[in-house]
Amino acid sequence: MSIKAKKRLVIALSIVLVLIIGVFAGVNLYADSLLNRMGRTESFSDDDVYSYESDRNIDNIALLGIDADNGSGARTDVMKIISLDFDNKKIKISSLQRDNIVYQPLMDRYEKLNHAYWRSGVQGTLSAINYNFDLNVTQYVLFDFDSVEEIVDILGGVDIQLTSSEAGFLGLGGAGTYHLNGSQALRYSRIRAVDSDYVRMSRQNNVIDALISTLKDKSLIELLNIVDDVLPYIETNLSNRAIKSYVTRLLGFDLSNIEQYQFPKDGYDSQLTSLTLYGYSPQYVLKDFSGEVESLHHFIYGEDSGYTASERVLQVEKDILALAGY
């Protein structure tokens, strides 16, 4: 190859490289402009939230849904742990029942779990989750539950299979699959009169599953428009860099099979009794708190993780049973 030809090749490669860098930078800036529409807060250190160490390649992120419709301040009526298992390329979702009595580290007293946000904000919630369940959650995504109505409408509604009692509560026909708008989906997710608060968590999971299912059918352009509309309703302490890293790494995950778990695993059958504390009820005592924590760990980290309840969890169990007179 002549010197002249070599120069032309170098120039051509340089132009291609500049174009690639330019496209990447443009996409990166566009992604940042989208993500910057979310509310942002400071990140928490392990010391801030009583973090638990694990040797598994799993990141846990709290999904918190606050609800202020009770007229006395926002509480986390939705508390889920999104576990990203990078070794097995799986996503697992653990739902924490809001009325379980737990130790509140920032208040130094025992009270139902969803009061942690009301009393001490996100830090209080993450502290309570980590302290009582031996977890390592320092990252969170938070939404006002009223925004579910807006998000569902942005997506054009969701398909939900209703029981006859659920359909009746919503003023619809008999049992069957219905295409719910935002208002209907929000009312559905809040139903507790027809059964129990534990089943209510299942309804919330159904709405999340329906949202994910709807997103799967959208084109890239539609998804970008949806993201642009939805992000202002969300608050997080995840950095743009962390979010983009997660998105890139999740491309190889099996998103068609998201495993779900509820704590306690047997719902109200596993409750020992209900108490009234600080003027609020029901607040539930678990008869086997440490066993429930172990089951949660086995779901998140695997049956072979070797986890057994720590001394701290055993003390929490002892204190809770003492509150109930046992």
C-beta atoms surrounding 24 within 10 Å: 10
Residue 9 pLDDT:
47
Among 31-40, 158-167, 197-206, the minimum mean pLDDT is found in 31-40
Confidence category of residue 40, pLDDT binned at 50, 70, 90? low
Task: Tell me: do 27 and 76 sit in the same domain.
Answer: no
Which pLDDT belongs to residue 27? 42
In this prediction, residue 14 carries a pLDDT of 43
Mean pLDDT of the chain: 80
Instruction: Name the β-bridge partners of 76.
Output: 66
Do 19 and 154 lie in a common domain? no
Q: Is the pLDDT of residue 237 over 90?
A: no
Residue 315, pLDDT above cutoff 80: yes
Structure confidence at residue 103 (pLDDT)? 95
Residue 29 has pLDDT above 80, yes or no: no
Same domain, 291 and 174: yes
CATH of the domain at 204: 3.40.630.190
At 169, which helix (H) or strand (E)?
helix 164-169
Q: Is the pLDDT of residue 173 over 50?
A: yes
Instruction: Compute the average pLDDT of residues 159-188.
Output: 90
Are residues 292 and 150 part of one domain?
yes
Judge if 191 and 317 occupy the same domain: yes
pLDDT of residue 130: 93
Across 3-17, 54-68, 152-166, 224-238, least confident range: 3-17
Domain match, 186 and 298 both = yes
What pLDDT sits at residue 20? 39
pLDDT at 150: 83
Q: Is the pLDDT of residue 25 over 50?
A: no
Assess whether 214 and 236 both reside in one domain. Answer: yes
Q: Quick one: average pLDDT of 64-71?
A: 67
What's the pLDDT at 36? Answer: 61
Average pLDDT over residues 3-15: 49
Asked if 69 and 22 sit in the same domain, the reply is no
- Do 182 and 121 share a structural domain? yes
pLDDT bracket for residue 70 (50, 70, 90): very low
The answer, yes or no, to whether residue 129 has pLDDT greater than 80, is yes
**Residues 2, 49: one domain?**
no
Give me the domain span that covers residue 237: 39-323
Pair 160, 15 in one domain? no
Q: How many domains does the chain have?
A: 2
Task: Please give the distance of CA 88 from its chain centroid, rounded to a whole number.
Answer: 19
The Cα 325–Cα 323 span in angstroms is 5
Q: Which secondary-structure segment (H or E) carries 291?
A: helix 289-301
Q: What is the pLDDT of residue 281?
A: 80
| Strand segments (E) across the chain | 39-40, 58-67, 75-85, 90-96, 101-104, 109-112, 139-144, 158-162, 176-180, 234-236, 259-263, 271-277, 280-286
Residue predicted with more confidence, 120 or 240 = 120
Q: Which residues pair with 180 in a beta bridge?
A: 158
Listed range (122-131, 183-192, 227-236, 314-323) with the worst mean pLDDT: 227-236
Q: Which of 86-90, 98-102, 113-117, 141-145 has the lowest mean pLDDT?
A: 141-145
Do 5 and 132 fall into the same domain? no
- What tokens appear for 73 in the block? 């301040």
Instruction: Evaluate whether 130 touches 52 at the Cβ level (below 8 Å).
Output: yes
